[in-house]
Structure 1
Amino acid sequence: MLIHPWDAARDDDEWRSWLRTRDFGQLAANGVDGGAPVVVPTHFRYDGDEVVLHLARPNPIWAALEANPAAVVSVHDEYAYIPTGWRSDSPETGVPTSYYAAVQLVCRARIVDDREGKADILRRQLAHHQPDGDHGEVAADAGPYHRNLSAIRGLRLEVVDVRAKFKYDDHKPDALRTRVAAGLAERRLPGDAAVLERQRSRGAGRSAG
């Protein structure tokens, strides 16, 4: 992912705060024997140090990770297409772009096959996704889940690098940014409100700096 200096996260707090409210993304691994990358949409839990998740045993990601444990968890959101006329006084000279936020966690994978290890991952995920506790007991040899543990494999992903990008024309003049903000507010497509809020937040940070 190309990250220009003006698109980079202000600091670790910015991307951590953004990712804290997002727990669905794509897990990507290198293909086996030169094959295409394997990309799996999935829920996950990230606790600041590692990512944990589980997938069905037949999932093709396992062969890829057994061949090479390098993996990326990719999350994107707050995206919108920005048309030509919003970025120029003349639609004929404007250059369209995309606004978006994206965080990629570069990881080293460890596959978990022992029953207690898988139960621990399920406990951690359920505590995150169902914090009210309405999920029943999670144990290796008891409760409603233990009979299904053989059908899944767990995954613990050690985060070794983070790539964070917030692409909202931070480097452009205020007049252009104001015109884009007005366009987003008027268009009101799904996602435009979140993009507008992020653009304004980034602009406020730029002014404060």
Structure 2
Amino acid sequence: MFIQPWDAALDDAEWKTWIADGHDFGILSVNGPPGQAPLTVPTHFTIDDRTLLIHLARPNPAWKAIEADPNVTFTVTGDYAFIPGPWRAKPGTPPTDGVPTSYYAAVQFTCRATVIDNPDAKAELLRRQMAHFQPDGDHAPIAPDQPPYGRMLPGIRGLRLDITEVRAKFKYDDHKPVEHRTETAHRLTERGRPLDAPTAGQQLRRLERTGPWKP
């Protein structure tokens, strides 16, 4: 993932807060067999300090690739919107001279994968995931010897992804003047497409922290 200086995360707390703010679904990418394309798997995940936890169905073809090469990438994206060219035209130039772009946030984790097959360890992984996704605890006990999860555990495998590198990108035209970014956020809010409001929110949040961008 290419990151311009003005698109980089301002600090680790920025991407960690963004992930914690409900961005818990991403794409696992693993190296395919020689001569074949990489395999990708969309899935929910939980994060614990420097570790991602996921589980997949046992028949998933990604397992064979992971066992051959445990170096994987996990990518999370969100708060994205298409920005039309006229919105980005420089002052005093025709609106049609503006060049469109995409706004988005993305966090890319480079990880080393460890497969989890022990029933007790898989149950613990699921308990940790459920603590995140169903914190009210409104589910049956998750244990190898209790239904309904006990009989389902053999059908899944767990995956611990130990993070070795994090690359975070918040692409919201931070190198543009303050007035331009403020107006774009206003236009996004007015347009009102499904992700326009959170995209505008990210742009204004970055604007409040950085003001005019300086190299």
Give the structure 2 partner of residue 50 of structure 1: 51
Residues 33-75 of structure 1, C-alpha deviations (whole Å, 9 max, x = no match):
2311111110111112211111100101101101110111111
Give the RMSD, CA atoms, in angstroms. 1.4
Give SS of 1:92's match.
Answer: helix
Give SS of 1:135's match.
Answer: coil
Contact residue 103 and residue 163 of structure 1 kept, 8 A: yes
1:108 aligns with 2:112: yes
Unaligned runs of 5+ in 2: none
Please give the alpha-carbon distance, in whole angstroms, between the structure 1 residues aligned to 2:202 and 2:193: 15
1:13 aligns with 2:13: yes
Identity %: 53
Once the two structures are superposed, the pairs formed by residues 12-91 of structure 1 within 5 Å of their partners are 12-21=12-21, 22-88=23-89, 89=91, 90-91=94-95
1:122 aligns with 2:162: no
Please give the alpha-carbon distance, in whole angstroms, between the structure 1 residues aligned to 2:39 and 2:139: 31
The letter of the residue matching 1:61 is A
User: How much does 1:208 deviate?
Assistant: 8.8
Contact residue 87 and residue 179 of structure 1 kept, 8 A: no
Please give the alpha-carbon distance, in whole angstroms, between the structure 2 residues aligned to 1:148 and 1:184: 45
The letter of the residue matching 2:40 is V
Please give the alpha-carbon distance, in whole angstroms, between the structure 1 residues aligned to 2:72 and 2:10: 25
Q: Matched residue pairs, number?
A: 209
Give the structure 2 partner of residue 142 of structure 1: 146
Please give the alpha-carbon distance, in whole angstroms, between the structure 2 residues aligned to 1:167 and 1:100: 5
- Tell me the TM-score normalised to structure 1 length: 0.96
Please give the alpha-carbon distance, in whole angstroms, between the structure 2 residues aligned to 1:126 and 1:119: 10
1:188 aligns with 2:192: yes
Please give the alpha-carbon distance, in whole angstroms, between the structure 1 residues aligned to 2:197 and 2:13: 22
Contact residue 56 and residue 152 of structure 1 kept, 8 A: yes
1:98 aligns with 2:96: no
Once the two structures are superposed, the pairs formed by residues 170-181 of structure 1 within 5 Å of their partners are 170-181=174-185
Deviates more, 1:97-106 or 1:167-176: 167-176
Moved over 3 A (4+): none
- Tell me the TM-score normalised to structure 2 length: 0.93
Deviates more, 1:179-188 or 1:83-92: 179-188
Give SS of 1:171's match.
Answer: coil
Residues 114-142 of structure 1, C-alpha deviations (whole Å, 9 max, x = no match):
11111111111111111101111111222
Please give the alpha-carbon distance, in whole angstroms, between the structure 2 residues aligned to 1:52 and 1:161: 16
Please give the alpha-carbon distance, in whole angstroms, between the structure 2 residues aligned to 1:85 and 1:135: 51
Give SS of 2:43's match.
Answer: strand
Residues 170-206 of structure 1, C-alpha deviations (whole Å, 9 max, x = no match):
0112232233223212211111111111101111111
Please give the alpha-carbon distance, in whole angstroms, between the structure 2 residues aligned to 1:92 and 1:142: 64
